[in-house]
Amino acid sequence: MTETSYKVAAVQFEPTLYEKERNITRLLALVETAAQGGAKLIVTPEMGTTGYCWYDRAEVAPFVEPVPGPTTERFAVLAHAYDCYIVIGMPEVDPETNLYHNTAVLIGPDGVIGRHRKSHSYIAEPKWAVAGDEHAVFETPIGRIAMLVCMDIHFIETARLDALGGADVICHISNWLAERCPAPYWITRAFENGCYVIEANRWGLERTVEFSGGSCILGPDGSMEAVLDCGDGVVYGTVDLARARARKVLGEPVFAQRRPALYAELMTNTFLWNPLDFFRLYGYRALPQGGVFEVAAAQFTPGDDTAANLDRATRYAAEASAKGAVLLVLPEYALTGTAPANAVGLDGPEVARLVNIAIRHRLHIVAGLIEAEGEARYSTAVLVGPEGIVGRYRKIHLTTAEAGWATAGDEWTVFDLPFGRLGLLIGHDLAFPEAGRVLALRGVDVIAAPAAIAGRISFGHPGSKVAQNPPIPTGADPHHWLLFRVRAGENNVWLVAANHIDEAKGFAGKSGIFGPDSFAFPRREAFIPEGEGLVTATIDTGTLPGSPYPTNVVRRKDLVAMRQVHHYLPLVRQD
């Protein structure tokens, strides 16, 4: 019988290279402390039994073991004694191939239940380990448990695979570094999948690498329910299976709203090849030259008076143009407001006036509206410029309320403009990690996202005592995690988000321009933390002259290139 609510623990620990017995003894003591504290699921760090920064196969060879093996048996004794479940990280040798893996092992009262071999390698693993090839969810008396190892969670696909497999809890073991933790990627994977993430990170210094600590229990809304900043220790939390199995994101049943028929491109990897060559193959749709440009986002809540909304758009266009912007993004429903009765046709006077605004201020403008086409109504983003109507995008992922009146779109759209390749998303699309990924695979430099997102999309951090090399921030930050920022970084794009702001209605704001590299500090971004207004920022979408390869992460898309596509088939299955 499955327990519906139970105590869990994340163990934080600093292992020492070459001192395997000391590491295991110390980990056993910490795990026993957690078990005595009532934890039914206890998660320990990546490679906690041996340390992490190995030079090569030869150096780690004396410390590898099979699974099951002597080390797993020692933890199994504890699991049996306390009737609990333990996740450990260790270097594994496969006896059949003599290949080494960076492995997470789930151990229960009756021994080894299963393992996860790290499937997305960080820079360190190829020195000694090979990537795993499977993502599994394990059914246990305390629910459905999945495991990921460190770099795995950088990729939207891994946690999504686990969530689609029914995971209530993702046990993420890591040796995370180079940022203040709990890391925004950890938070996002819990948030977008509506499940718990138990994060066990190491801390301390090893071979000049400073690890970030911040082990935590993350709730299904991404909230940091318990955190241990630095030092060895145990942090506790509670898993409520009803919360996990609701599978809600911002109150919406996102797994029922997925559109896997439109996700086929997730099974491709367009960045295996030099993108400057790939996207001009056969002379078809070469990437725009790009360069350095100013872009703008406006934050406001439109009303039901279309003329007044257009007056506001005129003011923001004038302000954006005065600041040198070439692109202005206005919020979802910016022209019409949210009432379906206000729907307009793209050939109507409202859009014609928006085109005139774009012509007058020499801007490209992306604006949301309720579009009427015959009897159908759509949540649409229209792109206009000095050349007229450039195109539109109809929202693919509708909220429950929108599904009562709107027809969902069925096509992703990208546009080539002087400042780069532009993709469009709208509001609730941003709750779905698949959406930004499809556009990234199409080579977009910039995603424009008119939005009307209600709910909490940002969490603060009180500051960390873990030492970091400048300019990595460690101090308190009221916007440590911000959904728009993560969507930009995970896809190596510039994201220009224009959200509604209305505290009474729960609209979150946080509109802005967010950069393509999550680990670039100071952050390359500008946003509006509260109130109405306009924000601008400089973006770079180009490549240095004469270079045959991209010199800019937005064109290389480093994280997109490292995907392990052959794992991802469940993401596009329509059953």
What distance in Å separates the CA atoms of residue 370 and residue 346, rounded to the nearest whole number? 10
User: Quick check: 429 pLDDT over 70?
Assistant: yes
Structure pTM? 0.98
Amino acid (one-letter) located at 514: F
The strand pairing partners of 417, in sequence order, are: 420
Say what the pLDDT of residue 575 is.
78
Say what the pLDDT of residue 13 is.
97
- 181 pLDDT band (50/70/90 cuts)? very high
Say what the pLDDT of residue 427 is.
98
Say what the pLDDT of residue 435 is.
98
**76-86 burial string, b = 16+ CB within 10 Å, else e?**
bebbeebebbb
Q: Tell me the residue ranges of DSSP E strands in 408-514.
A: 414-417, 420-424, 446-450, 458-461, 477-482, 494-498, 501-502, 507-508, 512-514
pLDDT, average across residues 494-517: 96
Residue with the two structure tokens 């760090």: 45
pLDDT, average across residues 407-432: 98
pLDDT, average across residues 172-180: 98
Asked, as a colleague might, if the bond just before 70 is cis with ω within 30 of 0, I would say: no
Q: What are the pLDDT digits (tens) for 187-198?
A: 999 999 999 999
Q: What are the pLDDT digits (tens) for 61-95?
A: 999 999 999 999 999 999 999 999 999 999 999 99
What distance in Å separates the CA atoms of residue 132 and residue 117, rounded to the nearest whole number? 5
Q: What are the pLDDT digits (tens) for 315-355?
A: 999 999 999 999 999 999 999 999 999 999 999 999 999 99
User: Quick check: 217 pLDDT over 60?
Assistant: yes
Say what the pLDDT of residue 503 is.
87
Asked, as a colleague might, if the bond just before 95 is cis with ω within 30 of 0, I would say: no
Average pLDDT score, the chain: 97
Percent of the chain whose pLDDT exceeds 70: 100
User: Quick check: 455 pLDDT over 80?
Assistant: yes
Q: Please give the DSSP secondary-structure letter assigned to residue 344.
A: B
Q: Please give the DSSP secondary-structure letter assigned to residue 33.
A: H
Tell me how far apart the terminal alpha carbons of the chain are, to the nearest angstrom: 28
Say what the pLDDT of residue 3 is.
76
Whether the CB-CB separation of 86 and 104 falls below 8 Å is answered with no
Alpha helix stretches (DSSP H) within 264-417: 275-278, 306-322, 349-361
Say what the pLDDT of residue 1 is.
54
Percent of the chain whose pLDDT exceeds 90: 99
Whether the CB-CB separation of 124 and 149 falls below 8 Å is answered with no
Strand pairing of 143-149 and 169-174? Answer: parallel
Q: What are the pLDDT digits (tens) for 354-397?
A: 999 999 999 999 999 999 999 999 999 999 999 999 999 999 99
What distance in Å separates the CA atoms of residue 96 and residue 117, rounded to the nearest whole number? 15
What distance in Å separates the CA atoms of residue 407 and residue 363, rounded to the nearest whole number? 29
Say what the pLDDT of residue 212 is.
98
pLDDT, average across residues 227-251: 97
If you count them, how many residues does the chain have? 575
Q: What are the pLDDT digits (tens) for 244-284?
A: 999 999 999 999 999 999 999 999 999 999 999 999 999 99
